[in-house]
Amino acid sequence: MHTSFVVFNIIGLAIIVIAAFRIGVKVSKASKREAPEAQNKVTPEESFAKNNEKFKYGTFTDARDGETYHTVQIGNQVWMVENLRFKTEGSYAPGNEEENVKTYGRLYTWTAALNIPSEYTEQSPAKDLNMYHKIKEDNYQGIAPEGWHIPSLKEWEQLMDNLPAKSGGKELRSESAWLNPGTDSLGFFALPAGYRFDNGTYCQFGKRARFWCKDEYGKSNAYRLSLTINSMDIEGVYRSDAISVRCVKNV
């Protein structure tokens, strides 16, 4: 047997062993992340009670269905501390489980959030100029209760101005429900309700939060604020996706 052949086999075996070791490490890390002891054991109720003690939340009752929401002032804005729960066509329960609505609110398509016909899922509301200009006005109500409205891109950016530079959004994330707990230093109490695609698939419940903005982003998209366990951004997503709605008080 040639020496080169033996060396070749030894090198090949070494590569296989190293690859297997790396895969084993990845599997081990993944298992630890998914292990019960690695999960966030702070309940939303415990986290909320702590926040309420600290921020002295206000309250508001939606006259349409009697749902009461807590509120918080952040800078010059007043936000609902909870995701909207108002049930309407084009709204869904997070994770496709109605029991999640009480804590996580409902998920809405963009047209449901803006309370406009579903035909505007893939075309601009500019087809109806009166409606288009109404949406552009400040304090556009949409599906929000009376006295509240769907946030604009500018209002989301105003909220983010209260965060440190290069923030990953931990100041907005609740201390509960997230695998990587937030500090929730502003009392916003963002929970990971996930989202729903238009094909009926529910994704990222317990892992990601997305909130609608009233502003369009291209022909069939709209802006949204997204929070993950370590990041925050504002980008466009399909209007047919169903995501959370946070309401901001009229000024």
Rg, Å, the chain Cα set: 23
Stronger pLDDT, 227 or 20, i.e. the higher one:
227
Predicted confidence at residue 219, as pLDDT, reads 86
Domain count, the chain: 2
Distance CA 73, CA 60 (A): 13
Note whether 15 and 60 are same-domain residues.
no
DSSP state of 127: G
Q: What are phi and psi of 162, to 5 degrees?
A: -80, -5
> Do residues 186 and 162 touch, judged by C-beta distance below 8 A?
yes
Predicted confidence at residue 24, as pLDDT, reads 44
| Max CA pair span of the chain | 87
Note whether 8 and 107 are same-domain residues.
no
Q: Considering only CA atoms, which of 176, 170, 172 is closest in space to residue 45?
A: 176
Distance CA 112, CA 99 (A): 21
Residue 12, domain extent: 3-38
Nearby residues of 114 by Cβ (< 8 Å), 6 or more positions away: 120, 135, 140, 142, 143, 150, 214
Note whether 95 and 181 are same-domain residues.
yes
Note whether 79 and 156 are same-domain residues.
yes
pLDDT tens-digit series, residues 189-217: 999 999 999 999 999 999 999 999 999 99
Among the residue ranges 18-32, 103-117, 132-146, the one predicted with the least confidence is 18-32
Percentage of the chain beyond pLDDT 90 is 82
Predicted confidence at residue 11, as pLDDT, reads 53
**Exposed / middle / buried, residue 176 (Cβ in 10 Å: 0-12, 13-18, 19+):** buried
Note whether 21 and 108 are same-domain residues.
no
Note whether 74 and 198 are same-domain residues.
yes
Note whether 16 and 123 are same-domain residues.
no
Predicted confidence at residue 98, as pLDDT, reads 97
Could you tell me which residues are beta bridge partners of residue 107? 92
Give the model's confidence band at 40: pLDDT under 50 very low, under 70 low, under 90 confident, else very high. Answer: confident
Predicted confidence at residue 5, as pLDDT, reads 46
> Do residues 232 and 168 touch, judged by C-beta distance below 8 A?
yes
What is the value of pTM for the model shown? 0.84
